[in-house]
Each structure stands twice: as C-alpha cells, then as structure tokens.
A = this chain, B = another copy of it.
Amino acid sequence: MEAVAALQVGIPLRTTAMPRARATLRDVSRAQTLSRAQTQCSACNLLDKCLSADLDTDTTRLLDDLVTTRVRLRKGETLYRAGGSFTALYAIRSGSLKTLLLAEDGREQVAGYHMPGEILGLDGVGNEEHECQAIALEDSEVCVLPFDRVEQIARESAAFQHNVHRYLSREIARQRTLMLLLGTMRADQRLAAFLLDLSQRYQARGYSSSEFILRMTREEIGSYLGLKLETISRLLSRLQQEGLIQVQGRVVKLLERPALRQLVGQSN
C-alpha cells in the first residue's frame, strides 16, 4: 500500500542501493481483469508490431486467452522494478515508458525509450527477476503476458516460438546499436542518431516522422546517450542554429534529415 502511494506521486525513486523491492502488479495503480472480447490479440490494432505477427488463424486463437489483464499507468508510475520477480512480459498498448538501469552503487542510466507495440520485460527471463525498472513517461496502458503461458504457447506453435525468439534477439540487436553509439560517436552524432531513431519509429507507427514530441527531459535523453543535460540542451540549440532541426521545448521538427544522417555517418 505504501508502495502504491509512493508511486502515485511519481517519484523517480532515486535508488541509492535500493533494498531490491519485490514489485508485482499490486505495485501499479490499476490492474484490471478484462473480458475476453476486450483482450483478444487478434483484434488488437497493433497486431503486426507484437508477438502475434505472421501466425496462422489456429495459432492466433491460442493467443486469445493469453492476455487476461491490462494495466493502466499514470505518468511517473513504475511498471516493474529491478529485483522484482519476473512473471510476465508487457506489451505497450498506448503511451510510452522508459527503462532505467540501476547499478548497486547508485549509478543509473536510462536504457531505453519504449513505444506502443513494443514488448517490455525481456531482461527478466534470465534469472526470474527484472534487471531494470520500467517507468511510464505519460499515462499508458500495457497488456500483461504471463510468461509461463508464453512459453507454453511457444511449445505448441513453432511460428509463435519463432516470434518470441525474434523479439529477444531484436532486443539484443537494439542494444548493440546503442553500444556502438556510446562507444564510438561524438555527442552531436549521438543526438542526431537519437532523433533519427525516434523519427523512424514514429513513422512506423503512423505518426509524423518529421515532427514529434520528446517524452523525455533533457536529463533523461542525456542519460540515455551517455551525456549531460547541458550538453543536450546546447546541442539542440546548435542543431537549430545550423538549420538542421527546429526545437520548441519538447516539440522537435526535423528540417534537414539528409544532413542529420550525414552527421551520424561520418566515422570520425
């Protein structure tokens, strides 16, 4: 109960060596059990983005009772936290979340920014507990996919199994890209790459690819890119001054995409 209260306030929970809390669904404000009609994956408009891609109708039917719970999160609330026992994957239906990496010494870093259709919680499969914390950046809704059910269906359907593997693997690939970014790019290149990535992901979801809203603060973006907030701020200003983008608070407009790509591309 106290946990819930704390979360409602939306405190980022700056965990200096947090006594790894058990976090379950009770942690979030509203978990709701849903009627079957509400949860059928086959009726979900995010179909092609999720685990249910490319399945025959028989298999799709298997999925229909996979999701029995959906969770609503308010901005700032935690979906799961590091050390919390892993029981399910989460598919984002609406809104967006960030994942936060926490080291024992209090060091922390934003590990990812996640949009509708993406699946969260994959990091927990390994040792039954989550390794990072997921926090809503705005009011959001996620589907709960109990992992034992996921594994069960994967055993029954090779196609679904393959989707699961693909998702795990894609997560690996995503992180690879980030490692390259963190390991080899200058600050301005990192920011440009970040903006282009956002643009591309928004486009894939049917939103404008040239104008969008940053859901993260300068500090969060900086943390994600291994930089400080001041650097992010300065660079946004500079890119604007150079005419590559237009910034107004959190609203960003990409003006010269080729130039941005070129900036990212120059390998020194």
Contacts and interface: CB of A to CB of B under 8 A. Distances in A.
A226 interface: yes
Interface stretch (A32-40, A172-180, A210-218, A246-254): A172-180
A79 B107 CA distance: 36
A183 B109 contact: yes
A123 interface: yes
Interface size class of A (residues with CB under 8 A): 35 or more
Contacts of A104: 265
Nearest to A262: B105
A23 to B, nearest CB: 18
A168 B172 contact: yes
A121 to B, nearest CB: 10
A111 B170 CA distance: 16
A158 interface: yes
B155 A151 contact: no
A27 interface: no
Interface stretch (A41-49, A67-75, A125-133, A196-204): A125-133
Contacts of A185: 107
A175 B209 CA distance: 29
A266 interface: yes
A122 interface: yes
